[in-house]
Amino acid sequence: MKKQLEIVFVFMLIIISLKFFDARFLNESILNYLLFLTLIAVVIVSVPFVVPTNKGFVFPVQLLLGSITFSIIMAGLFWDQSLLDSLIATAPYLIFCFFFYLMHIKFPVNLMEKIIVIYGILYILLYTFEFINSPTVFFGKSLWGDEYLESRGIVRIIFPGGGVFILTTFIAINKLTSQKKNRLLWLLLTAAGLVIPIMQVTRQFIAGILLIFLYHFVRTLSLAKKVMILVSFLAIIFILLDAESPVIMGLIDSTRSDASLGGDYIRVLAGEYFLTDFSPNRITQFFGNGVSYSGVSDFGFYVDMLGSTQNYFLSDVGIIAVYAMFGVPAIIAYLLIWIKSFTIPLPEEFQYLKYYLWFVLLTSFTWYTTYHYHYLVTTVYILYMYQAIYSRKKEEVEALTRKSEKLLVEDKININF
């Protein structure tokens, strides 16, 4: 019975963390209360296990969680935000606690993979429903007013819950080349992983997906085949650039417009502000300012004002937002995570764990994949899965070493006799 409850909890945490894909037809207050209560439960069950043996991703997650927790004090001391307001605003980030609970119960990696794929398929179905029924907003929030409108040559819908979709896409390409079962399913999910980012017309998404797809399909090939695929890939890009597709033209026009602004590009200005001028003193420059409670505290009103009057949004500055909220320790934590994603090996069938972390890295400069609730729960699950596989392999090696040493000792004893 306990195992079944753990499975239900792990499964439901995703949909609750995503606020049911930001469903507009559900009561927002109820969703927020449900999320807050669920996160309290996550913290309660996880806190007893936050100091396991330091190996793999344990220290980076501990450092990140510590910086998030300490930022609550910063918001109170230097921005006069009440403890309750800071706890409510910071609660979504405390989901990193769950990493340690998952380690404690040793949740099956293969089962977690299936749970992710279920949500990835649900994402695709709901996105398709939303696109067909646009401009009415059923899920998420329009970038312009109360309806999904055409932008860059297509009805642009940044559908909530991108983390589970991106991860499902990487699982699909990994399975497509590493196993022979369910190939049609993986092929369809791979195709969706290419089509939907293009339909969302988000440049960093498209670039991140294409780069990782390209890497995955050429990494095991000979040099000649790699060159052939790379040339073909570049040829396809040039053909698309010459095409008169509204989507392609929209991407080109927006890129040219942003490039022409140079240092005056709003994301550059926002990044400079949050990096150099936002923090009131050297202490907050190092430890961060905490998470503002939008629309409630004075701190929240100030951050809201920056967006409404200056167009300075934390969501536009990626990893700089992590620095502004949680300080230098959080940046170090993410750097350690990314370094380990390059240095800790994985079996062939689990390469998608690396790909997701690399995608977060590639998009971390201009998007909120590092800290938004649409991605956090997926990041926590990825880190746990990576940690579980690493720990299992390490234990197998240690067991083999002990067995070899025991055999050597027995051989020496037999020789002496």
In the predicted model, what is the mean pLDDT of residues 13-38? 93
Residue 257 above 70 pLDDT?
A: no
Per-residue pLDDT at 171 exceeds 60: yes
Stated pTM of the model: 0.90
Tens digits of per-residue pLDDT, 77-111? 999 999 999 999 999 999 999 999 999 999 999 99
Q: Which pLDDT score, from 0 to 100, does residue 268 have?
A: 86
**Would you state the pLDDT for residue 411?**
60
pLDDT score, position 233: 66
| pLDDT of amino acid 149 | 81
What is the arithmetic mean of pLDDT over 6-28? 94
Paired residues of 150 in beta bridges: 155
Of 43-47, 213-217, 341-345, minimum mean pLDDT range? 213-217
pLDDT at 306: 93
Give the model confidence (pLDDT) of 220-251 as tens digits.
Answer: 777 776 777 777 667 666 665 555 556 555 55
pLDDT > 70 fraction of the chain, expressed in percent and rounded: 86
pLDDT at 152: 66
- Of 29-33, 49-53, 261-265, 286-290, the one with minimum mean pLDDT is 261-265
Residue-level pLDDT at 1: 73
With a cut of 90, say whether residue 27 has pLDDT above it: yes
What pLDDT does 412 receive? Answer: 64
262 compared with 411, residue with greater pLDDT: 411
Question: 113 pLDDT exceeds 60?
Answer: yes
Q: How confident is the model at residue 259 (pLDDT cuts 50, 70, 90)?
A: very low
Average confidence (pLDDT) over 387-405: 78
Per-residue confidence (pLDDT) for residue 240, from 0 to 100: 55
pLDDT tens for each residue of 190-216: 999 988 988 887 778 888 898 899 888
> Which of 41-45, 48-52, 201-205 has the highest average model confidence (pLDDT)?
41-45
Phi, psi of 128 (to 5 degrees): -60, -45
Cross-strand pairs, 154: 151
Residue 49 pLDDT grade (very low, low, confident, very high; cuts 50, 70, 90): very high
Lowest mean pLDDT among 30-44, 56-70, 213-227, 369-383: 213-227
What is the residue-averaged pLDDT of the chain?
87
Give the per-residue pLDDT at 223: 74
> Which position has the higher pLDDT, 240 or 296?
296
